Amino acid sequence: MATSDPPPSATPAPDDPAIATGRDERTQEALARSRELRARSRQLLAGTQRAPPAPAAASRERYQTATGTGPRPGEQELAGVLERQVEEAKAARARLAALAANLAATEDNVAYVHDQLAAKDPEHAARYQRAADEARHAARRAREFQRTATDGATGDL
């Protein structure tokens, strides 16, 4: 005896708990990734705020008490110290510019993740969109800092 009932569908119903669970898991994974990216951004930013100490300059007293017309004691040493400091400043600017570029790229990734979350979870879309906008703003600030560091590296210090 044949029945006219349609065969069960291969795709689950929209209100199927398995779909909701999978979506929740993907959302949690995306949020965790976003948090990791933010933490990495904070680490990069914190690393740019720590500067190595500059080497000690020649003794001012020794320089001021020198007599005669020839080179004063420590004058060449002082010139070498200043030259090293200039080179270190240029290298620090280059490192800061690279860190700012990495930070901007990380913030762009954070914005992308939040945009994806907003598209997949309309109920919380406004919250995700705010987070994405904040990340884009942070990326713009990082790029501006990068331009400033790069522009200063080409001129004299």
pLDDT of residue 103: 94
Is the per-residue pLDDT at 14 higher than 60? no
- Percentage of the chain modeled with pLDDT above 70: 66
pLDDT, average across residues 35-40: 81
pLDDT of residue 58: 45
Task: Return the sign of the alpha-carbon dihedral for residues 44, 47, 49, 51.
Answer: negative
Alpha-carbon distances, residue 137 vs 49, 103, 151 (angstroms): 20, 12, 21
pLDDT of residue 63: 54
How does residue 157 score in pLDDT terms, banded at 50, 70 and 90? very low
pLDDT, average across residues 19-28: 75
Give the C-alpha separation, 50 to 53, whole Å: 9
Is the per-residue pLDDT at 46 higher than 60? yes
Helices (H), ranges, the chain: 17-49, 60-64, 75-120, 125-154
Give the C-alpha separation, 28 to 134, whole Å: 20
pLDDT tens readout for residues 56-67: 444 555 555 555
Give the C-alpha separation, 80 to 55, whole Å: 11
Instruction: Locate the domains of the chain by residue range.
Output: 31-46+74-157
| More reliable by pLDDT, 76 or 126 | 126
pLDDT of residue 104: 95
